[in-house]
Amino acid sequence: GQNIDQPTEMTATEGAIVQINCTYQTSGFNGLFWYQQHAGEAPTFLSYNVLDGLEEKGRFSSFLSRSKGYSYLLLKELQMKDSASYLCAVLDSNYQLIWGAGTKLIIKP
């Protein structure tokens, strides 16, 4: 079966760095997405990785290792507005998105 695993909840301090991990087992791989979702809102795109390595975009970076079926989202200089759920999703061989359950990130002052 297809499976995406990510922690249910994480807590971090304002100004700090947090890493949200995602492991996947899917039928085929055509890329991995990270989305941010605030409560009551639709997800918004953060990053896309299809090749191994680190993609940096401002305060957010995303890493992919295809051989390990592993990705992480790194958030630096955390701000209170970063409190949200972070969803990991993999595009499988049929170009369907397989979603993780999301990681709720709580930022404390």
Binding-site size, other proteins (CB under 8 A): 21
Gap between the Cα atoms of 63 and 84, Å rounded = 20
Please check whether residue 105 is in contact with residue 86, taking contact to mean a CB–CB distance below 8 angstroms. Answer: yes
Asked if residue 53 binds other proteins (CB under 8 A), the reply is no
Q: Return the residue of 18, 22, 34, 43 that touches other proteins, per CB under 8 A.
A: 43
By beta-carbon proximity to other proteins, the closer residue of 13 and 93 is: 93
Binding site for other proteins (CB under 8 A): 30-31, 33, 35, 40-45, 48, 50, 87, 91, 95-97, 99-102
